[in-house]
Amino acid sequence: MEANVADAAEAERTQVKVDLGARSYDIKIGRGVMDAAGAEIAAVLPGARLAVVVDETVAKLHQKAFSESLNAAGLEHTVLTVPSGESSKCFREFERLCDEVLAARLERGDGIVALGGGVVGDLTGFVASAVRRGMSFVQVPTTLLAQVDSSVGGKTGINARHGKNLIGAFHQPALVLADTAILDTLPIRDFRAGYAEVAKYGLLGDEPFFRWLEANWKAVFAGGPERDQAVARSCQAKADVVAADELEAGRRALLNLGHTFGHALEAAVSYETERVVHGEGVSIGMMLAHEFSEKLQLIDEVTVARVQKHLTDVGLPVSLKDVPGQLPPAETFMDIIAQDKKVSRGALTFILTRGVGEAFVEKGVDPALVSDFLKEKLET
């Protein structure tokens, strides 16, 4: 990735392009970007009627201002509310939203807006991919996680009893509006969880960015210009990967660093967010991916300790032992991992690493090694 942090800092508002030919779109980043949401959306979806999907928490905090901006641009819209939290990524909410979009008589050329975190974004995008075989949609991410990751790249979907995001579609948005001021109302636990995905970009392929985060994370949390820089650099990293490999035929799998273990953990606790939210699962999963890489003699203990120190410094969990309550045995984790979307012809794929910024995709990992490793981690 060429963009450097200082470059990103220069503009108060930054724009990152996701280059996908005719389906290219912009990510507009900065404090106050949402004030012009109406005009921005009208520019990409001229004449469209809209359904705005929002969760109950975000609706209370931000719906009024958002609707005012749409009204000012003359955008007729219906607001559809879903319960807050991971449990909304389910068939029931998917079906209800599809039905409500149809009841509002939105046409194929109309649009659906996701105003919220990754849950609302994934669910809404999936609805948009399905209703009338595909409607335009816009992402207005309101969590750090959604701004740096889930709103970009077109992975949409819901969870299944068998695992995370197992039902879904690739469906790219027409625009992403990441207003970093909206993060001021985000609870610290959710901000930290989103930060795990920020750190992920450094760990998977950008050691200088990880070093920058080690030095600047307090300013990122405090909400100064460093926060916008971290969001912009993360979006640029994701946009580069998605443009090169939209459908995850190869390199995009790197964005799954920590997710094989992390997703298994989320499913193992039945998506109970009191116990673990996605970003926390990713933090623990990234730590496990590093420890597993150490076990395979790909990295040394100094690298593992460096990663652990940074994630611990910011207050993220780093071990299965950090999850409250009893966890199921390794066999249950292995059953869930066997359903991971990266599995091919029954063979497990893991994102491993040779150092900070040097992750790689390893196919055909021996399940017995993974199982023994998980047993160790669940016992010690």
Ligand X SMILES: NC(=O)c1ccc[n+]([C@@H]2O[C@H](COP(=O)([O-])OP(=O)(O)OC[C@H]3O[C@@H](n4cnc5c(N)ncnc54)[C@H](O)[C@@H]3O)[C@@H](O)[C@H]2O)c1
Q: Could you list the residues known to form a binding site for Zn(2+), using ranges.
A: 197, 259, 278
CB 151 within 8 A of CB 116: no
110 residue type, one letter: D
Annotated active-site residue 218? The verdict is no
Q: Has 238 been annotated as catalytic?
A: yes
User: How many Cα atoms occupy the beta-carbon half-sphere of 15 within 13 Å?
Assistant: 7
How far apart (Å, rounded) are the C-alpha atoms in residues 189 and 144? 11
Q: Where are the alpha helices (DSSP H) in the chain?
A: 5-10, 37-44, 56-72, 91-103, 118-130, 144-145, 188-205, 207-222, 225-244, 259-268, 278-295, 301-313, 330-337, 367-379
**One-letter amino acid of 90:** C
Kindly state the smallest distance separating residue 78's Cβ from ligand LNCXM5UN, in Å: 27
Tell me, residue by residue from 3 to 32, as one string, x for binding to ligand X by CB under 6 A and - for no binding: ------------------------------
* Annotation: binding site for NAD(+): 84-89, 118-122, 142-143, 155, 164
Question: From the list 54, 82, 145, 289, which residue makes contact with ligand X (rule: CB under 6 A)?
Answer: 145
Q: What does the H/E/C string look like for 355-367? A: CCCCEEEEEEECH
Minimum distance from residue 128 beta carbon to ligand LNCXM5UN (Å): 16
93 binding ligand X? (CB under 6 A): no
Q: How far is the C-alpha of 49 from the C-alpha of 64, rounded, in Å?
A: 18
- Catalytic residue list contains 358: no
Which of 40, 93, 197, 226 is flagged as catalytic? 197
| Cβ proximity to ligand X, 42 vs 178, nearer residue | 178
* Nearest distance, CB of residue 309 and ligand X, angstroms: 23
CB-nearer residue toward ligand X: 70 or 158: 158
**259 annotated active-site:** yes
Catalytic annotation on 226? no
Site residues, ligand LNCXM5UN (CB under 6 A): 149, 153, 155, 164-165, 197, 248, 252, 255-256, 259, 341
Q: What is the C-alpha to C-alpha distance for residues 180 and 224, in angstroms, rounded to an integer? A: 10
Considering the complex, state which of residue 149 and residue 303 has its C-beta at the smaller distance from ligand X.
Answer: 149
What are 2-5's contacts with CB under 8 Å, separation 24+? Answer: 3/232, 3/233, 3/236, 5/209, 5/212, 5/229, 5/233
| Minimum CB distance to ligand LNCXM5UN, residue 283 (Å) | 12
Which of these ranges, 101-109, 139-147, 306-314, 338-346, lies near ligand X under the rule CB under 6 A?
A: 139-147
307-to-52, 142, 264, 292, 301 alpha-carbon distances in Å: 39, 27, 21, 13, 10
Residues in the chain: 380
Collapsing DSSP to helix, strand or coil, 248 comes out as: coil
Name residues whose C-beta falls within 8 Å of residue 311's C-beta, 6 or more positions apart in sequence: 196, 199, 283, 286, 287, 318
Using the minimum distance from each CB to ligand LNCXM5UN, give the nearer residue, 117 or 153: 153
Q: Which residues contact 190 (CB under 8 A, 6 or more apart)?
A: 117, 143, 144, 145, 277, 279
The 245-284 contact track toward ligand X, x by CB under 6 A, reads: --------------------------------xxx-----
- For residue 349, give both structure tokens: 């794929």
- Considering CB distances under 5 to 8 angstroms, the limit depending on partner class, which of ligand LNCXM5UN, ligand X, none binds residue 233? none
Query: Mask: binding to ligand X, 165-194, rule CB under 6 A, as x and -?
Result: x----------------x--xx---x--xx
Nearer to ligand LNCXM5UN, 179 or 197 (CB): 197
Nearest approach, Cβ of 74 to ligand X (angstroms)? 26
Catalytically annotated residues: 133, 155, 197, 238, 248, 252, 256, 259, 263, 278
